[in-house]
A and B are shown apart, each in its own frame.
Chain A
């Protein structure tokens, strides 16, 4: 089955700086890679996703890059704000073959210092 590794486990940045979280996956058949933000006591919220037919996707201050050959993908947050502080999870799945559950990374606790 799929295995997703995520680094770092914790990340502290100053407000306004950029934050980068990296994930690797093991199953070359995986083709869908979402990122979730989870605040304390709440369910994960989808913030951005990317499919294997593109290498980069951007949405305002958030961007995701994908390297299929190396089987890794990254989340980039620019101009971080205190409200970006949360736990971020990457995930991987295979689309097109039925409803597949996501395999999650271990999570990154991001703290943005004001």
Chain B
């Protein structure tokens, strides 16, 4: 299957700092990527849809100024958690659909811990 690479796999940061997470499609182009957040023992919740060359679309309740998304190329989307707080600690996962269908391949996830 298609490969989606996410980096870093884990990060610990101090409260108030910003953290950038990268999501790359390695063997295909992705005009759209999705960012999810997953709390322990819970399901994946969609945060935003990243669109190459245009603004991201955020789900209700997700602060766009706090979770900055940039999709500058067809193979890279980034999520920046700005002024991180302990409540932002979570598992962040990106995905990208391939071809003409919705089949979504997921990155390996990023475990963010804010201390």
Binding site for B on A (CB under 8 A): 32, 34, 36, 41-46, 49, 89, 93-95, 99-107
Inside 8 A of A99's CB, which chain B residues have their CB?
Answer: 31-32, 49, 97, 102
Which of A32, A41, A45, A107 sits near B106, CB closer than 8 Å? A45
- Do residues B109 and A95 form an inter-chain contact, with CB atoms below 8 A? no
- Do residues A46 and B103 form an inter-chain contact, with CB atoms below 8 A? yes
Is the interface on chain B under 10, 10 to 19, 20 to 34, or 35 or more residues? 20 to 34
Report if A44-B93 is in contact (Cβ < 8 Å); known contacts: A89-B43, A99-B31, A107-B43: yes
Report if A34-B103 is in contact (Cβ < 8 Å); known contacts: A41-B111, A43-B6, A104-B44: yes
Where chain B touches its partner, the secondary structure class is: strand
- Do residues A46 and B104 form an inter-chain contact, with CB atoms below 8 A? yes
A110–B5 alpha-carbon span in the complex (Å): 26
A100–B34 alpha-carbon span in the complex (Å): 9
- Do residues B102 and A42 form an inter-chain contact, with CB atoms below 8 A? no
Binding site for A on B (CB under 8 A): 1, 4, 6, 31-32, 34, 42-46, 49, 93, 95, 97, 101-109, 111
- Do residues B102 and A102 form an inter-chain contact, with CB atoms below 8 A? yes
Inside 8 A of B49's CB, which chain A residues have their CB?
Answer: 99, 101
Report if A41-B109 is in contact (Cβ < 8 Å); known contacts: A89-B43, A99-B32, A104-B44: yes
Closest chain-A Cβ to B101's Cβ sits at a distance in Å of 6
Inside 8 A of A107's CB, which chain B residues have their CB?
Answer: 42-43
